[in-house]
């Protein structure tokens, strides 16, 4: 697995909030996420963090501007190509979105179950669960796990397709601060081992300080991009 470089140029996204009323969620955002870097997208609630990640993940369409992920021009993809693209990246959310009726191992392999793969799905799920520290919990139901453990399952699931880019939207938002830091340290270690690029939306400066660099968003504009060292 190798990481994608992400190149965002002059990205605009406007929402209609009432008839004749618009809100610029992103008002000309440009950024570069180097290959295999872990970046924090910071900013207060409503500053545009989720919108930015959704556009990079092709879960929503930009009004103008461009997004390049590796050699893919995300803003030029057809619907069918968007679906294929989304399979090449991983998503982690604040709410873990695990399927309550499935075991932990089946949750991890769920995204690839409908597809033919070159790898053994169950075996890959077990390997990923070991990598996130959940060996022995493979047959548990998600409800038997703590919040931090459930987020680890969600991270393993996000990695099932060996993505070149992992997008995490407030991944520590439902966790206490100590557990949240453990989750970020896990993401950094997985990046060290697998080399994927990671972008984490967060309003928590303790989370951002564990990343390689941070981008500060305010009212849909970038205020600063700086290393965290």
Q: How far is the CB of 145 from ligand ADP (least distance, A)?
A: 26
Q: How far is the CB of 204 from ligand ADP (least distance, A)?
A: 12
- Return the number of the residue (23 or 181) whose C-beta is nearest ligand ADP: 23
- Return the number of the residue (50 or 103) whose C-beta is nearest ligand ADP: 50
Q: How far is the CB of 57 from ligand ADP (least distance, A)?
A: 13
| Positions that interact with ligand ADP (CB under 6 A) | 15, 17, 23, 25, 43, 45-51
Q: How far is the CB of 191 from ligand ADP (least distance, A)?
A: 22
- Return the number of the residue (132 or 168) whose C-beta is nearest ligand ADP: 168
Q: H or E stretch including 127?
A: helix 121-131
What is the residue-wise DSSP string for 54-116? HHHTTSS--SEEEEEETTEEGGG--HHHHHHHHTTEEEE-SS----TTS-HHHHHHGGGTTS-
Q: How far is the CB of 105 from ligand ADP (least distance, A)?
A: 31
Q: Bridge-partner residues for 217, per DSSP?
A: 222
- Return the number of the residue (45 or 229) whose C-beta is nearest ligand ADP: 45
Q: How far is the CB of 114 from ligand ADP (least distance, A)?
A: 28
Please tell me what DSSP assigns to residue 118. Answer: S
- Return the number of the residue (23 or 110) whose C-beta is nearest ligand ADP: 23
- Return the number of the residue (10 or 120) whose C-beta is nearest ligand ADP: 10
What is the residue-wise DSSP string for 128-189? HHHHTT-TT-TTS-GGGS-HHHHHHHHHHHHTTT--SEEEEESTTTTS-HHHHHHHHHHHHH
Pairing, β 64-69 against β 72-73:
antiparallel
Residues 6+ apart with CB under 8 A from 219: 24, 27, 47, 48
């Amino acid at each position: 697995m190798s990481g994608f470089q992400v190149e965002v140029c002059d990205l605009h996204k406007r929402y209609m909030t009432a008839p004749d009323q618009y809100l610029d969620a992103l008002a000309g955002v440009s950024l570069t996420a180097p290959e295999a870097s872990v970046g924090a997208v910071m900013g207060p609630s409503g500053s545009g963090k989720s919108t930015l990640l959704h556009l990079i993940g092709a879960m929503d369409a930009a009004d103008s501007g461009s997004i390049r992920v590796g050699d893919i021009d995300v803003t030029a993809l057809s619907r069918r190509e968007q679906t294929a693209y989304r399979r090449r990246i991983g998503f982690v959310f604040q709410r873990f979105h695990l399927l309550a009726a499935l075991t932990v191992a089946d949750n991890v392999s769920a995204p690839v179950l409908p597809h033919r793969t070159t790898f053994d799905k169950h075996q890959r799920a077990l390997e990923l669960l070991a990598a996130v520290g959940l060996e022995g919990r493979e047959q548990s139901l998600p409800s038997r796990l703590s919040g931090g453990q459930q987020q680890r399952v969600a991270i393993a699931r996000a990695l099932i397709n060996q993505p070149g880019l992992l997008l995490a939207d407030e991944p520590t938002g439902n966790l206490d601060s100590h557990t949240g830091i453990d989750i970020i340290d896990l993401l950094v270690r997985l990046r060290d081992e697998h080399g994927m690029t990671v972008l984490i939306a967060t309003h928590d400066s303790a989370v951002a300080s564990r990343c390689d660099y941070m981008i500060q968003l305010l009212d849909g504009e970038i205020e600063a991009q700086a290393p965290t060292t």
